[in-house]
Amino acid sequence: MQMPEHREDGQGGRRGGDHRAAPPQHPRPQQPPQLPPQAQPQQPVQPPPQPPQRPAGPPLPESFPERFAPAESEPSAPLIVARLPARAAPRTAAPPGRSYVYSDRDGRPVELTGRRSLNPLGFLGPRYEWRVEVDTTLRRDVFVDSVPSRTDLARFELTIEAEWAVSDPVAVVGHGITDGAALVRSRLLDVARAVCHQFEIGQVARVEAALADRLRAEPRGYEEGIGVRRCYVKVVPDERTRRRQERFEDARVERQLTNEEVEDLRGSIRTSSDLFLRYLAQDPERVGTLIADMREHEQLKEQRVIELYNAAISANVVRPAQVNEMLERLLGPMTGVLQPEGRTDLFGTREIPAPSPPELPMIPGRVDRGTDDSAPARTGAARTGAAGAGAAGAGAPGPGADEDEDVMPGQLRGRSEDGVESWRPMPWDS
């Protein structure tokens, strides 16, 4: 007996005459209907990725000064603004200051400056997977760091203000550059360190000039797609060096002022009277004290002079009779300090006027020697007669003889051999 065959139709029923069990079938997943690109809902823009955090370096040793630690610069805005799937990205042109870079299935980035156009067959060109938006605006960052100098334990504080921008968006996307400021900072500081090592800490102007020339000669574009437009460099010594230079400058100025004051005193004070008047002009109320000081100074000077002459007399350098005239020249009265005619020289001695030259005789060839205490004065006729008589008795020449022969023996008895006419004992001999 043959059983009727039941067949299963497309609606899940069975046909008559077929009672065999059908194999279980799994339902296929249903795909949502595809909408045209114009009607597809736009996905929300992803927030820009945050720059990667720099790993913390090893702690500095305690002996390492904090001023030698590298200065960290603030991270600038990221260069890659957003990443979107190419299908979900709108087909619009890039706004000013932005650039769209598309990557295909092989990961090759391509920059499209305009909107994507359809080919003659009605399809888009090559199929891209991602669209990357790159910021190409001009940026200005300031980098500060401490770089070593040629002088030991002295460093330069370097400040570089750089203007830079993205010159090749495709290279930026290809290298995955997010923080462009860090790249520019590292390249500029490498150049600055090489230049600053060649100069002493006091050659600030030469360092700035050398850095400006070096940065001007360096290539403006880097292979990572970033170009530097302009650099402004400022170099100053570090704080420790500045304090040290200020101390040296203050000491130099103080020493210069002291030297100028000493030179002024040397030019204005020539004698002790000048010094006395200068003190008196500065403090008029100390007149009594100044006079007492000057009197004590004079007494000390007299005592030293007396000791000096005692030693000279003991050594038979001078005779006691010659000391009186010397003391009158060296020891002046106290009242002569304030009088212009009583000025003294650098040794405290008074300036004695030079003696006047001798007067010429009234008759040429005749000199009047004056009178002598032991013989009466004689006239010219008497001297002539005496000379003639002496010449006649001795057979010598007459009126033409020398006048020195007129000196009588009585005139020579009262004269001393050393020329000292009088003598009086000194105060220290009593």
- At residue 247, the pLDDT reads 92
**Given a cut of 50, is residue 385 above it in pLDDT?**
no
Domain extent listing, the chain: 80-113+126-237, 272-333
**Given a cut of 60, is residue 400 above it in pLDDT?**
no
Compute the distance between CA of residue 295 and CA of residue 293 in angstroms, rounded to an integer.
5
Compute the distance between CA of residue 390 and CA of residue 392 in angstroms, rounded to an integer.
5
Compute the distance between CA of residue 79 and CA of residue 102 in angstroms, rounded to an integer.
15
**Given a cut of 80, is residue 370 above it in pLDDT?**
no
Looking at the DSSP bridge assignments, the partners of residue 199 are none
Compute the distance between CA of residue 349 and CA of residue 331 in angstroms, rounded to an integer.
7
Q: How confident is the model at residue 395 (pLDDT cuts 50, 70, 90)?
A: very low
**Given a cut of 60, is residue 379 above it in pLDDT?**
no
Residue 335, phi-psi category: left (phi > 0), alpha (psi -120 to 50), beta (remainder): alpha
Question: By the 8 A CB rule, do 165 and 137 touch?
Answer: yes
- At residue 129, the pLDDT reads 80
Compute the distance between CA of residue 9 and CA of residue 24 in angstroms, rounded to an integer.
14
Give DSSP secondary structure letters for 81-129.
Answer: EEEEETTTS---PPPTTEEEEEEETT--EEEE-S---B-TTSSBSS-EE
Q: What's the whole-model pTM score? A: 0.45
Q: How confident is the model at residue 360 (pLDDT cuts 50, 70, 90)?
A: low
Mean pLDDT of 241-267: 89
Mean pLDDT of 224-228: 91
Residues 176-201: pLDDT tens digits?
888 899 999 999 999 999 999 999 98
Give DSSP secondary structure letters for 404-417.
Answer: GGG--HHHHHT--T
Compute the distance between CA of residue 269 and CA of residue 262 in angstroms, rounded to an integer.
10
Query: CA quadruple 197, 202, 206, 207: dihedral positive or negative?
Result: positive
- At residue 352, the pLDDT reads 52
- At residue 414, the pLDDT reads 58
Question: By the 8 A CB rule, do 112 and 102 touch?
Answer: yes
CATH of domain 80-113+126-237: 3.30.479.30
Token couple for 404: 């020195």
Compute the distance between CA of residue 407 and CA of residue 412 in angstroms, rounded to an integer.
8
Mean pLDDT of 125-130: 71
**Given a cut of 90, is residue 251 above it in pLDDT?**
yes
Token couple for 328: 């009158």
Residues 279-298: pLDDT tens digits?
778 887 877 887 888 788 88
**Given a cut of 60, is residue 343 above it in pLDDT?**
no
Residues 136-173: pLDDT tens digits?
999 999 999 989 898 888 889 999 999 999 999 999 98
Cβ neighbors of 17 (< 8 A, separation 6 or more) are: 3, 4, 5, 6, 7
Residue 58, phi-psi category: left (phi > 0), alpha (psi -120 to 50), beta (remainder): beta
Question: By the 8 A CB rule, do 403 and 361 touch?
Answer: no
Return the top range by mean pLDDT from 62-66, 127-131, 252-256.
Answer: 252-256
- At residue 430, the pLDDT reads 52
**Given a cut of 60, is residue 313 above it in pLDDT?**
yes
Residue 427 Cα distances to 317, 327, 348, 424, angstroms? 20, 12, 21, 10
